[in-house]
C-alpha cells in the first residue's frame, strides 16, 4: 500500500501538468479564433471593430461586433441594435436584449479560468481587448504607483487616461471604451507581431462585472499594460477590500488594479498579437517591454520577449 501511495504521489503532478497543458492549448485555440474573427472583420470593413460608441446606443462592445465572424450569426441577428436607452433596457428582464446578454459563446472561456461564470446575469469572457499602456483610473484614495487620488492621468508616453477618448487620437492600444472609430492594420506602425490585441483576464478580479456583451463590460476594453501582468487584486466580491500587494486600496475598490491582464495559468498569460499569432508572456516580462507591446505606434524597437 505504501508503494502504491508513493507511486500515486509521483504520478499526480504529471497528470495535473498534462491537464493544464491541454487547458492551455484550448485557451490558445480560443485566442486564435478571436484572431481569425478580428482579421475577417478587418477584411470586410478595412479596420478592426470599434471598442465603443461614445456612450451611445446600442451600447455593445467589439466582442458583439465580431459575432458574425465566429459562427454566431443567429445570435448577432437577434440583437436589437436600435433599442432606445439600451443600457437601461439591458437591465429589464423581459427585454429581448436582456435575455441575449446571458448567452455565452464557447470560445470566450479559458478552461483554466474558474471565475468565468462569476456573474450569471451576463455572458462572461476570459479575454479582453487591449487599451494599450493607458494609465488606469483613479478614485478617492491614492495607494499605489498606478493610481493618483482623484486624477485620471496619462501614461508615460503622454496618452489619455483609461480609454475614455471618443476620437481615438490619444489612445495607445487597439481598443478604447468609447472609441467609436478603430484602427486598421496600416495604423499598427510598430508592426503587428509587436502589438498586443487581446489578452487574458479573470472576470472575478475585475470591477466591471458586466460581461463581454456591453461596451463597458470587463472583457470589452478594460485592460492596460500599465498594470504589471498577473498583478493580484481582490478576486472576490465585494471589491472594497485591501489587496495583499497594495494595502489600503479599498477606497478605490481595487478598481485601477483590476484593469490589468491576468490568468489562471502559472507564471503568465496568453495574448493575441496583431498578426493573429498567440504568445504566452511571462509575468516576469520586462515592464518597459510590456508597455511597448501594448502600444501600436510608439516607434520603439522591441527585442526578444
Average pLDDT over residues 222-233: 82
More confident residue, 138 or 230: 230
pLDDT band at 156 (very low <50, low <70, confident <90, very high): very low
| Helix/strand/coil for 172 | coil
Residue 301 lies in a domain: no
pLDDT digits (tens, 9 = 90+) for 121-139: 777 888 989 988 877 665 4
Range of the domain at 152: 2-294
Residue with grid cell 504607483, as numbered in its chain: 145
Residue 302 lies in a domain: no
> Residue 150 pLDDT more than 50?
no
Residue 272, beta-bridge partner list = 198, 278
Contact 279, 273 (CB under 8 A): yes
pLDDT digits (tens, 9 = 90+) for 74-118: 999 888 777 655 555 666 667 777 777 778 899 998 999 876 556
Residue 305 lies in a domain: no
Q: What is the pLDDT of residue 251?
A: 42
pLDDT band at 239 (very low <50, low <70, confident <90, very high): very low
> Residue 55 pLDDT more than 70?
no
Contact 57, 85 (CB under 8 A): yes
Q: How far apart are CA 270 and CA 250, in angstroms?
A: 29
Residue 142 lies in a domain: yes
Half-sphere exposure (Cβ direction) of 151: Cα atoms closer than 13 Å: 11
Q: What is the pLDDT of residue 32?
A: 98
Residue 300 lies in a domain: no
Most confident by average pLDDT, 85-89, 227-231, 261-265, 301-305: 261-265
| Helix/strand/coil for 17 | helix
Q: How many domains does the chain have?
A: 1
| Distance from chain centroid for Cα 149 | 24
Sorted by sequence, the CB contacts under 8 Å of residue 56 that are 6+ apart come out as: 180
Residue 263 lies in a domain: yes
Nearest residue to 176 via CA among 52, 31, 84: 52
More confident residue, 244 or 221: 221
Q: How far apart are CA 117 and CA 107, in angstroms?
A: 14
Q: How far apart are CA 171 and CA 133, in angstroms?
A: 9
Residue 299 lies in a domain: no
Average pLDDT over residues 219-239: 69
Residue 153 lies in a domain: yes
Least confident of 85-89, 183-187, 281-285: 85-89
Give me the chain's average pLDDT, please: 76
Which percentage of the chain shows pLDDT scores above 90? Answer: 30
Average pLDDT over residues 15-44: 92
> Residue 155 pLDDT more than 50?
no
Amino acid at each position: 500500500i505504501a508503494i502504491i501511495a508513493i507511486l500515486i504521489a509521483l504520478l499526480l503532478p504529471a497528470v495535473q501538468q498534462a491537464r493544464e497543458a491541454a487547458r492551455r492549448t484550448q485557451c490558445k485555440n480560443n485566442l486564435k479564433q478571436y484572431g481569425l474573427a478580428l482579421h475577417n472583420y478587418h477584411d470586410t470593413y478595412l479596420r478592426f471593430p470599434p471598442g465603443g460608441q461614445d456612450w451611445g446606443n446600442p451600447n455593445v462592445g467589439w466582442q458583439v461586433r465580431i459575432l458574425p465572424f465566429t459562427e454566431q450569426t443567429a445570435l448577432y441577428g437577434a440583437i436589437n441594435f436600435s433599442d432606445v436607452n439600451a443600457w437601461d433596457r439591458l437591465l429589464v428582464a423581459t427585454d429581448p436584449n436582456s435575455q441575449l446578454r446571458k448567452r455565452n459563446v464557447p470560445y470566450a472561456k479559458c478552461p483554466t479560468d474558474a471565475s468565468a461564470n462569476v456573474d450569471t446575469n451576463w455572458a462572461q469572457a476570459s479575454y479582453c481587448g487591449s487599451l494599450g499602456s493607458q494609465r488606469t483610473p483613479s478614485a478617492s484614495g491614492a495607494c499605489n504607483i498606478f493610481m493618483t487620488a482623484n486624477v485620471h492621468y496619462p501614461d508615460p508616453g503622454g496618452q489619455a487616461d483609461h480609454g475614455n477618448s471618443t476620437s481615438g487620437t490619444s489612445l495607445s492600444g487597439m481598443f478604447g471604451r468609447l472609441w467609436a472609430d478603430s484602427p486598421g492594420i496600416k495604423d499598427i506602425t510598430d508592426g503587428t507581431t509587436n502589438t498586443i490585441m487581446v489578452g487574458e483576464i479573470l472576470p472575478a478580479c475585475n470591477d466591471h462585472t458586466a460581461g463581454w456583451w456591453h461596451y463597458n463590460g470587463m472583457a470589452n476594453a478594460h485592460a492596460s499594460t500599465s498594470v504589471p501582468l498577473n498583478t493580484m487584486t481582490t478576486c472576490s466580491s465585494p471589491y472594497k477590500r485591501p489587496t495583499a500587494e497594495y494595502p489600503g486600496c479599498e477606497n478605490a475598490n481595487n478598481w485601477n488594479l483590476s484593469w490589468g491582464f491576468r490568468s489562471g495559468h502559472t507564471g503568465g498569460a496568453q495574448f493575441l498579437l496583431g498578426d493573429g499569432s498567440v504568445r504566452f508572456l511571462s509575468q516576469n516580462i520586462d515592464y518597459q517591454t510590456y508597455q511597448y507591446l501594448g502600444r501600436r505606434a510608439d516607434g520603439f524597437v522591441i527585442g526578444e520577449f
